[in-house]
Chains A and B, each alone.
Chain A
Amino acid sequence: ETGVTQTPRHLVMGMTNKKSLKCEQHLGHNAMYWYKQSAKKPLELMFVYNFKEQTENNSVPSRFSPECPNSSHLFLHLHTLQPEDSALYLCASRVTGAGSTEAFFGQGTRLTVV
């Protein structure tokens, strides 16, 4: 257990559905991340939040909408996804700045778009 919890672990959704992925950490980390992991491709950084403020949007399509209500919680809202969006979505968190740490990852949400 890394202290970063993602729910759900598995999600199957149709292309017209709306769903949300949740990530939670109570490690006191200030930065939170969404990564997409597809087969045989580098881990793709999607979004970064630092103290609840979005600091990176890596040209992610608008059908992915992140939300960070506080430093402990991060959401990824999904709507009108495509089959090629099927992947493992990983959340991570870390401390940045003085006393920085490595990134701690959740177990991921395996998303299948049908």
Chain B
Amino acid sequence: GEDVEQSLFLSVREGDSSVINCTYTDSSSTYLYWYKQEPGAGLQLLTYIFSNMDMKQDQRLTVLLNKKDKHLSLRIADTQTGDSAIYFCAESKDSSASKIIFGSGTRLSIRP
């Protein structure tokens, strides 16, 4: 079946790096996404990676994919207070697939 799992909470100090981890079960997943949800808002795409990639970097964000272990991570460098949010990992099979399966989200809190 399809399942995406994440830890529920992460607390980091301002200026440190945050690493949010995700595991998924469907080995045929092709697209893996990271979404951010701020309080009172919907989800917004942060970044995504194709399953034929190991890493993707976009400014402060680095996504690592270990396809063998079905493990995805999101690293946020120099974490700021504005990064406080819930981060969702998601997967879909291919571009024509309708379903996008989400994890439960990781709440990132920043301490001074």
Contacts and interface: CB of A to CB of B under 8 A. Distances in A.
A100 B42 contact: no
A42 B2 CA distance: 12
B43 to A, nearest CB: 4
A104 to B, nearest CB: 8
Given A42-B4, A42-B102, A42-B103, A100 B45 contact: no
Contacts of B95: 96-100
A2 B45 CA distance: 10
Contact of B43 (A41, A100, A105): A105
Interface residues of A, number: 30
A74 interface: no
Given A50-B98, A96-B95, A105 B44 contact: yes
Interface residues of B, number: 24
Interface in B60-112: 88, 90, 95-105
A94 B94 CA distance: 13
Contacts of B105: 42-43
B42 A108 contact: yes
A11 to B, nearest CB: 15
A55 interface: yes
A105 B96 CA distance: 18
Contact of B104 (A40, A104, A108): A40
Nearest to A30: B98
A102 interface: yes
B99 A45 contact: yes
Contacts of B35: 105
13 contacts: A31-B98, A33-B100, A41-B104, A42-B4, A42-B102, A43-B88, A45-B100, A48-B99, A92-B43, A96-B97, A97-B96, A99-B95, A100-B95
Given A31-B98, A96-B98, A102-B33, 5 more contacts: A43-B102, A56-B99, A96-B96, A105-B43, A108-B42
